Amino acid sequence: MKTPFSKKLSSFISLGAIALLIGLQPGCKQGTDPSAPFDISKIDTVLTGTVDAELTEAPNVPKPLTYTSPKRVKVTLKVIEKVMNISDSTQYTFWTFGGHVPGNFIRVRQGDLVDFTLINSEDSKVSHNIDLHAVTGPGGGAEASNTSPGQSTNFQFRALHPGVFVYHCATAPVPLHIANGMYGLILVEPQSGMPKVDKEYYVMQGDFYTKGKYGAAGLQDFDEDKALAENPDYVLFNGKVRALVGQGALTAKTGETVRLYVGNGGPNMVSSFHVIGEIFDKVYTEAGSSINTGVQTTLIPAGGATIVDMKAEVPGTYLLVDHSIFRAFNKGAIGQLKITGDENPSVFKKLK
């Protein structure tokens, strides 16, 4: 299956020469719509090398990509079933991509050929697979990736469309796998790259259903009746009550631009995502290519995502909430963005 290195090298060099020639032609990039899907006629273009994708744990986002032509990108995710705290007093058996909820953030570029390996840990109870919404292909990869405990599967896909996409386990019963925390985000940068900002963060909402009520102590089993009734005990950012509070709070300095990649794993709830005291300068609505400006609250479908940009103007603690507000008040859907820096009285000032 593998091309000999020398052959690879020569094609790499010749392609580089071609790319250079094309690159030198004035205006060749003009008029390219950054949101356009990858030009399928270029699909047989030889890839310019292989890289391992940087994977990060929320709320961190991999560094922006610096390469400018399609590569083979290797991604390996490991499914781990483990007991973790869902609140300070409560444990839950999470099923995870990478040992935490949400799963690792994956960053690739439009046109990349993603070589994806899914490993299922040896001590897993059940089989798992992955459906990446960034995939154009059967089951989003799930048909090719049902993986027994202790085994691995491998498939490849072309990242055709830019945007940030949800991935999740799609092994039957899908709702159980998602309810146990099996979701994450994959960013496909447009060929022109994402506009530069000072800070990027990864936030993902999910709802959880336990036998005991919110905060009930001890290891709690999944409650199928509550899940079917769509009546969650927990609605959380990043898999744990207070994950983004205190030590875990997101931070920025005044004057900085902040971008949040916000996904919603569900399985049931649609998020009314809002940051109290901020207005989103830009919302990539449903993480697609249409940009809305000056938005207070944006909807994030279950199994969908959004990208929001804002500027830190006034120091203080800003709350990330699902503005379906009982969820924020009673079920955990709350996080913090702490902005430090000089006061900005021309924008906000307490008078009395």
Partner 1 sequence: MKHFLTLIFTLLTALSAVAQSVSTEKKMVRIPAGIYTPFFKLPGTEPTAMSAFLMDETAVTNAEFLEFVKANPQWRRSKVSKLLADTNYLKYWKSDLEIGEKNKELYNSPVVYVSWFAAKAYAQWKGKRLPTVAEWEYAGTAPLVNSREGTLTSYILNWYSKPNPKVLPNIKSTYKNTFGLFDMHGLIWEWTFDFNSFIKSGDSRANTTDELKLFCASSTLYVNNKSDYASFLRFSYRGSLKGNFCIANLGFRCVKDLK
Residue from 7, 29, 63, 125 touching partner 1 (CB under 8 A): that is 125
Separation CA 66–CA 29 (nearest Å): 17
CB 209 within 8 A of CB 223: yes
CB-nearer residue toward partner 1: 214 or 222: 222
Kindly tell me which of 175 and 215 has the beta carbon lying closer to partner 1: 175
CB of 180 to partner 1, least distance (A): 8
Site mask, partner 1, residues 87-106, x = CB under 8 A?
A: ------x-------------
Tell me which amino acid residue 273 is: F
- Site residues for partner 1, 217-276, by CB under 8 A, read 219, 221-222, 224, 228
Q: Could you tell me how far CA 14 lies from the centroid of its own chain?
A: 35
Site for partner 1 in 292-351 (CB under 8 A): none
Contact 216, 210 (CB under 8 A): yes
Q: What SS3 class is residue 247?
A: helix
Stretch that binds partner 1, among 77-85, 159-167, 197-205, 344-352 (CB under 8 A): 77-85
Residue 179 CB, shortest distance to partner 1, in Å, is 10
Tell me, by CB under 8 A, how many residues bind partner 1. 36
**Max CA separation in the chain (angstroms):** 74
**CA dist., res. 49 & res. 110, Å (int):** 15
Between CA 100 and CA 277 the distance in angstroms is: 29
Measured from the CB atom, the residue of 184 and 303 that comes closer to partner 1 is: 303
> Which residue, 145 or 306, is less far from partner 1 as judged by CB?
145
Query: What's the rounded Cα separation, in Å, for the pair 102 and 327?
Result: 18
Q: Under the criterion CB under 8 A, does residue 131 sit at the interface with partner 1?
A: yes
User: Smallest gap, in angstroms, from Cβ of residue 106 to partner 1?
Assistant: 21
Q: How far apart are CA 152 and CA 124, in angstroms?
A: 12
Which residues within the stretch 147-186 sit at the binding site for partner 1 (CB under 8 A)?
147-151, 153, 170-174, 176
Report d(CA 17, CA 278) in Å as an integer. 48
| Separation CA 61–CA 106 (nearest Å) | 8
The contact set with partner 1 (CB under 8 A) reads: 81-83, 93, 122-127, 129, 131, 138-139, 142-151, 153, 170-174, 176, 219, 221-222, 224, 228
